Structure 1
Amino acid sequence: MRRTPRLRRTRERQGESRTRPQVVAHRGSSHDTPEHTLEAYVKALDEGSEALECDVRLTADGHLVCVHDRDLRRTTSTMGLVSTMSLAELDELDFASWKSPWSDLDDEAPERDPMQGKVLTLRKLLETVADYDRHVELAIETKHPTRYGGLVERRLVEALDEVGWAGAGSPARIMSFSVNAMNRVRRLAPELDIVMLVDKAHHWPVLRPLVADDWIIGPGVEELRDHPGLGKHLVKAGREVHVWTVNTADDLQVCLDLGVTAVITDRPKFILDLLDS
């Protein structure tokens, strides 16, 4: 039997009390299940995820859908751009088979509900979170650049407002690598939490003067590991830190040592088991 890695709790050893980080399912439980499908999100919820992460893009007819890539080659084997297709056209595609292309030949493979492999609208995901039997949060990333510019954030805030989640106390927070996008969200919904994603450690000195003191910072775990000064600086400055994409015990240890408040992972059950062990 493989032994569960034992995680250090550095800050607790130093006499500081803190709660463990929130576990956020990255595109759902996407390590084993097709990303951004209803199946992936339901599995993440059933595994105990405390929050869900999704990317949103705007279709040609104005619907927000949960899709990461601007084109559809990777997840549907189809040429075409999300932004040039209608929701009805996207709904004709299979967003699940790419994850297990040989499943039709495997007699022991579990049967999948084809409806759970359809394109997922943000509205459906919001309904799923709202109807779940416990509190769940939602981290929504807007993708840029896009032909629709600031319309993405406007439609997103409108969708959140329709379910009463555009104000203080909302379970939703908005993320982006775009400073302009985060400024738009702050203007449209001043009470929403926002997360400034950081792609490279050397970008932070440029970003630092542009972000407000109450913005959450979202660096990648590889940057934290390769550039330890980044994490130390953020913690020393009192920043709330949410880290992506945390998939191993070593990744999680980096986050625990820093005392981050959320870890975004493709493997929510694995990370939850590590934290509970």
Structure 2
Amino acid sequence: MIRGMQVVAHRGASAEKAEHTLGAYLAALEAGADALECDVRLTADQHLVCVHDRTLARTAANPGLVSTMELRDLAELDFAAWKHPWSELDDEAPDMDPELGKVLTLRKLLETVADYDRRVELAIETKHPTRFGGLVERRLVEMLAEFGWTGPDAPVRIMSFSFTALQRVQRLAPDLPLVMLMDKAHHWPMLRRLVDPDWIIGPGIKELKAHPGFGRRLHQSGRRIHVWTVNTKANLELCQSLGVEAVITDKPDTMLRLLGRK
């Protein structure tokens, strides 16, 4: 574990580059991010891809569903153009390798991390509900096992808003750290009776700001806390006051500078 607060690039350096593209993750690595965060979904032909939404309308200008399309179909789409729609009209804009804006498979992201010249961790979120149910977690653990990343020293943790999904991962790979994501502070009184004491709690920064007592109770109980999505100095300072272990951010370069690490 990296000493001090870990800076996790949310979908890559997504404030700067199109989310979940290889270009966004390479920018995050260059910035010095300690870890990379991604969401994974299964395609119709059972490939894990790094895509947040169930539909492709927002990030690829396509009405299709990730779960009903094959990888070869996704590979034909542009996942980067939406971020800078006027770039083609900018004569001074640098040329970009088209491959950096294509759909990114989880395998490619794992290979990128495995080949990097320093330890980089991965925070992988499984999205639910999905038509594939628990097959998502099964395929994910199988792929991690190919890389030898299911043991206690693996640079990987699994996150989800689904308690059931995390239970599946716990059965399949009991040594992997798990993060129970939360977007409603009022769910905690119920969840704390169910969530394993070793699980990390992952609240959104909006909930910590709206319900100050929630964060204090988590901190006082000794829970490990990872917070999303932290993009400002004020929010970073709030996380520091609560002993937060990791901040998930669209702006890894900015957070590293604010922490005095650049």
For Structure 1 versus Structure 2, the TM-score category normalised by the shorter chain is over 0.9
Q: Which residue of 2 aligns with 1:188?
A: 172
Partner in structure 2 of residue 10 of structure 1: none
What amino acid maps onto 2:134 in structure 1? Answer: G
Given residue 120 of structure 1, which amino acid in structure 2 is its aligned partner?
Answer: L
8 Å Cα contact 1:59-1:86 kept in structure 2: yes
User: What is aligned with 1:122?
Assistant: 106
For residue 67 of structure 2, what is the aligned residue in structure 1? 83
CA deviations 1:190-231 (Å, max 9, x no partner) are 000000001111111121111100000000011111111111
Whether 1:105 and 2:98 are equivalent positions in the alignment is no
1:250 to 209, 234, 252: 234
- The answer to whether structure 1 residue 270 and structure 2 residue 249 are counterparts is no
CA contact 1:20–1:275 (8 Å) conserved in 2: no
The residue that corresponds to 1:139 in the other structure is 123
Deviation at 1:19, TM superposition (A): 4.8
Which whole-Å CA distance do the structure 1 matches of 2:167 and 2:220 have between them? 24
User: Contact 1:196 / 1:215 at 8 angstroms: preserved in 2?
Assistant: yes
Aligned-partner Cα distance in 2 for 1:168–1:247 = 30
AA aligned to 1:220 is G
Distance 2:259 2:220 in 1: 24
CA distance in 1, matches of 2:135, 2:159: 15
* TM-score for the superposition, normalised by structure 1: 0.93
Change (3 A) 1:109 1:139: same
Distance 1:131 1:62 in 2: 24
Provide the aligned C-alpha RMSD in A. 1.0
Q: State which structure, 1 or 2, has the greater radius of gyration over its C-alpha atoms.
A: 1
1:20 Cα deviation after fit = 2.6
Q: Secondary structure at the match of 1:97?
A: coil
Structure 1 segment 182-261 matched on structure 2, within 5 A:
182-261=166-245
Amino acid at match of 2:32: G
Q: Out of 21, 46, 53, which is 2:30 matched to?
A: 46
How many residues are matched?
A: 260
Q: Does 1:164 align with 2:163?
A: no
Deviations 1:140-176 (A, max 9, x none): 0000000000000000000000000011111000000
Q: How many Å separate the matches in 2 of 1:19 and 1:187?
A: 29
Provide the C-alpha distance between the structure 1 equivalents of 2:54 and 2:96, rounded to a whole number of angstroms.
26
Which SS does the other structure have where 1:125 is aligned?
helix
Structure 2 gaps, min length 5: none
Q: Output the CA distance in 1 between the equivalents of 2:210 and 2:51.
A: 29
Shift of 1:60: 0.2
The amino acid that maps onto 2:83 is: K
CA distance, structure 2, for counterparts of residue 50 and residue 38 of structure 1: 16
Q: Which of 54, 59, 66 is the aligned partner of 2:43?
A: 59
Once the 2 structures are TM-superposed, how far is the Cα of residue 127 of structure 1 from its aligned partner?
0.2
* Structure 1 ranges of 4+ moved more than 3 A: none
2:6 maps to which residue? 22
Shift of 1:26: 0.1
Cα distance in 2 between the residues matched to 1:183 and 1:43: 33
Are positions 1:93 and 2:77 aligned together?
yes
2:17 counterpart of 1:33: yes
Q: Output the amino acid matched with 1:178.
A: S
Counterpart AA for 2:205: V
Segments of 5+ residues of structure 1 without an aligned counterpart are 1-17
